[in-house]
Structure 1
Amino acid sequence: MRAEHFASNEDTIVALATAQGVGAIAVIRLSGKEAFQICNQVFKSKDLTKQPSHTLHFGTIRDEDKIIDEVVVSLFIAPNSFTKENVVEISCHGSNYIVRQIIQLLVKKGARLAKPGEFTKRAFIHGQFDLAQAEAVADLIAADSEAAHHAALNQMRGGFSNEIKKLREELIHFASMIELELDFSEEDVEFASRDDLKQLVNNLLQVITALIKSFNLGNVIKNGVPTVIAGKPNAGKSTLLNALLNEEKAIVSDIPGTTRDFIEDEINIEGISFRFIDTAGLRETKDKIEAIGVERTHEKMKQASLIIYMFDLSNTDPMEIGKEINQLENLGIPFIAVGNKIDKATATMLEKAKDFNLTLLSALNKENLETLKAKIIEAVNLDTFKTGDTIVTNLRHYESLLQTQNALNDVITGIDNSITNDFLALDIRQALHHLGEITGEITTDDLLGNIFSKFCIGK
């Protein structure tokens, strides 16, 4: 498969490697066999084809006698580059006009524009890293929190891939023994103990099940935690959102029903991104617009990973608190019950609030806000991640692991029912196939095209 891709990608590609937009510096990347020769035609200083790898050279980019820019050119000779091809990186001034002129000139001299993710795709094709590591490159670029960065970096450096490869290698050994038995089927020879195979598959299932379970946490780390702030009108939901964001994002008013729709913004707490959603107050209303807002609040609560449910301690009946907490428990979604407006609550009410294990605060005065943040982090439960365990963050990997799990369960069922070796071998091959899809041992053009099309151009 890799040889076919290599044969169809002999041309030299070019793209802007830095972000679009005006800046002090822009970097234009070329990769391919003719990268040095193409750049040499427009770069006036030294003969780039005679320079050593990993060197920098100052000069000008010219279109005939017209100077486009003064630049610094970096050289990386194959295989000592990101793509394992000859790579040239041109650092020019960050003018959009200059970037366009240089890229157009390089295309005119023989390069072609790179497709999204094509540099990383070539790195994969040439064995720089496997497919899971290649996907982690995009995750690393998109990471906007410490946890997401840590997870992507661990995957890019092979942490997840190594886990999958170990599982696959153990299974391949038994698969080869089963295949060997098929060759000697008439002689009734057993090369692979069924008890040993069952023990191995059960061990693999334990590891794979743990990886599958880690996806919920991985999804939180990668995409942020959707956290709904809910409660009755005037409980202080908008005030809390503003306090958490440290800005006046939501309109705060004493008039019930001010928030008719949800307001959303993101905040980073201890390296984790939380998408806080301020919702319309929950109450029965004849106002059609407000009723739509209330309905959307219920929908958002069902979709949330965490609910912060607020009670106004200055005018809420304790019986009502107990009733609403029971309703929250029935949703089956992690929640933090918050008693707000402690500055206006009576001593009796504050004492009763402890019976309901409420987190007490004053959103208006930002009192006990750090206590709430600590509870939020605790509710997400990042202990597994912080121990350095492998975390699944990619939906494609998650789906392949589910299919692997199904195939391995079929192997166990087959062993228990003494099925013939040819069917047993088929189930093992299925498990190996799905594990191989994760790291790229098993690939198709459609799979690669779908994965790398989601990358930015220039990466």
Structure 2
Amino acid sequence: MTDTISAISTATGEAGIGIVRMSGENSIEIANSIFVPMGSKTLIESDNRTMVYGHIYDNDKLIDEVLIVKMLMPHTYTRENVVEIYCHGGIISVRRILDLTLDRGARLAEPGEFTKRAFLNGRLDLAQAEAVIDIIKSKSDISYNMSLRQLEGSLSGRIADIRERVMKMTALIVANIDFPEDEIVEATYSSLREDAVHVVESLNELIKNSNRGKLLRDGINTVILGKPNVGKSSLLNGLLRDERAIVTDIPGTTRDVITDFVNLDGILLKITDTAGIRDTDDTVERIGVDLAKKSIDGSDLIIAIFDTSRPFDNDDYEIIRLIGNKKSIILLNKSDLDKKVSKDDIEDLVKDRDYLDISVVGEGEILRIEEKIKEMFFDGEVKENSTLYVNNLRHIRALKAAKESMKYVLNDIENEMFLDLLEVNLEDVLSSLGEITGETSTEDVLDKVFSEFCIGK
């Protein structure tokens, strides 16, 4: 790559500073052509990695007062020459400076192209590159720290260890096939089986923790479900500790889907409050009810809330039917009021499900619900540890594909099949694992990964 890319690396809008970043062979020359230092040294003459104060000019027209730094390859983020221009924040200044760099020969960077160059130039592998965007998108301390460990190579190192054992098996098999008469270590089925079992166990360990890893990264997609006026909006407000949803005695107040986020001891809850489930002739409310039913499919957790101050009806039983086998918390609300349902009514509704008797207007009840969520997903306690959690769907699929191929290898070993058949499946294992770190990824995969980045990163 010889072309030079340029982009705004800070978010659009009012801010203290804005940053325009360039990377490529001509980045320093382009920046030097629009920068006038206050001292005697030009940008080209200035020291590496040293801030220089001056002004950006469009010919004779002053654009902004800036600090600028050049970073010489290969010790940069992209392993190319990099320049960063720190100007006043806002829309106009950064846009004018960007336009100047484009006028002088740079081209606008594509989404994620700086990180893509870091990958292509060997500074990061693909798993580490994906960790960069996870860091940017992190909404909790735990997800941030997980992403940071992956950026430092925790997952890449584990994959490298597994690949090394598989390559050792492959090399031994190839040697025995190609040079049977030479004095080499014999590839015995017992030794191959030992290695294969170790690989499967390693893959199982990574896959086993993947569901929890995804929840730690993306949060628990939580849907609040219930009839109108059972306390759904009060529950949402209680969990948010804020008056986010309108609470009235009028049925059908919530007609659209309301989504917000709660940080639960470092774990993100993505909470969706839905329209009350009931039969209705109101066209707008019926659309809300349909959206509520659709939200169930993508949920990790359903909090179903029922009003015990009035008899259960068909709508309550429909809600239980909609939940099905989804992970759920059943709340019997308004425990502070006279119950209009019997113990038998409750047993008939909830069947074998656990439930909580609550009044969502109380802070203590909200804490009980939060503790229940932690118990269901994290054994009652959310804490950081050194466990490696795989949280990327692409990685999970690759691990499962590698495990499936390894199971074929084990089966062939048990049946003492020809060594060349084992080699084919071992190559499939290596290919699947290589997709995670980028060693065997296609251009389409790379384009998909980096398209999710913002421009400028």
TM-score normalized by the length of structure 1: 0.88
SS at match of 1:55: coil
- 1:359 maps to which of 356, 359, 381: 356
Equivalent position of 2:373 in the other structure: 376
Count of aligned pairs between the two proteins: 449
Equivalent position of 1:343 in the other structure: 336
Deviation (angstroms), 1:310: 1.5
The answer to whether the Cα contact below 8 Å between 1:385 and 1:391 also exists between their aligned partners in 2 is no
1:143-162 equivalent positions in 2, closer than 5 A: 143-162=138-157
SS at match of 1:337: strand
1:437 aligns with 2:452: no
1:202 aligns with 2:197: yes
Higher mean alpha-carbon deviation, 251-260 vs 18-27, is at: 251-260
Higher mean alpha-carbon deviation, 300-309 vs 360-369, is at: 360-369
Equivalent position of 1:166 in the other structure: 161
- 1:409 maps to which of 407, 410, 428: 407
1:113-124 equivalent positions in 2, closer than 5 A: 113-124=108-119
Equivalent position of 2:18 in the other structure: 26
SS at match of 1:120: helix
The answer to whether the Cα contact below 8 Å between 1:325 and 1:337 also exists between their aligned partners in 2 is no
Cα separation, partners in 2 of 1:454 and 1:356, compared to 1, 3 Å: closer
Higher mean alpha-carbon deviation, 411-420 vs 291-300, is at: 291-300
1:10 aligns with 2:8: no
The answer to whether the Cα contact below 8 Å between 1:35 and 1:86 also exists between their aligned partners in 2 is yes
The answer to whether the Cα contact below 8 Å between 2:331 and 2:355 also exists between their aligned partners in 1 is yes
- 2:299 maps to which of 297, 304, 315: 304
SS at match of 2:19: strand
- Following the alignment from structure 1 to structure 2, what is the Cα–Cα distance between the partners of residues 41 and 293? 58
- 2:449 maps to which of 448, 451, 454: 451
Deviation (angstroms), 1:290: 5.1
- Following the alignment from structure 2 to structure 1, what is the Cα–Cα distance between the partners of residues 106 and 184? 60
The answer to whether the Cα contact below 8 Å between 1:76 and 1:86 also exists between their aligned partners in 2 is yes
- 1:98 maps to which of 89, 93, 102: 93
1:52 aligns with 2:52: no
Higher mean alpha-carbon deviation, 62-71 vs 282-291, is at: 282-291
Equivalent position of 1:4 in the other structure: none
Deviations for 1:397-443, whole angstroms, at most 9, x for unmatched residues? Answer: 11211211111111112112222121111110110111111112223
Cα separation, partners in 2 of 1:385 and 1:435, compared to 1, 3 Å: farther
Deviation (angstroms), 1:140: 0.7
Deviation (angstroms), 1:331: 2.3
Root-mean-square deviation (CA), in Å? 3.1
Deviation (angstroms), 1:387: 2.8
Q: What residue ranges of structure 2 are gaps of 5+ in the alignment?
A: none
Equivalent position of 1:388 in the other structure: 386
- 1:334 maps to which of 305, 327, 336: 327
Instruction: Name the aligned partner's letter for residue 447 of structure 1.
Output: V
Instruction: Name the aligned partner's letter for residue 268 of structure 1.
Output: N
- Following the alignment from structure 1 to structure 2, what is the Cα–Cα distance between the partners of residues 50 and 289? 67
Cα separation, partners in 2 of 1:262 and 1:452, compared to 1, 3 Å: closer
Equivalent position of 2:78 in the other structure: 83
Q: What residue ranges of structure 1 are gaps of 5+ in the alignment?
A: 1-8
Deviation (angstroms), 1:138: 0.9
Instruction: Name the aligned partner's letter for residue 97 of structure 1.
Output: I
Cα separation, partners in 2 of 1:68 and 1:259, compared to 1, 3 Å: closer
Instruction: Name the aligned partner's letter for residue 34 of structure 1.
Output: N
SS at match of 1:264: strand
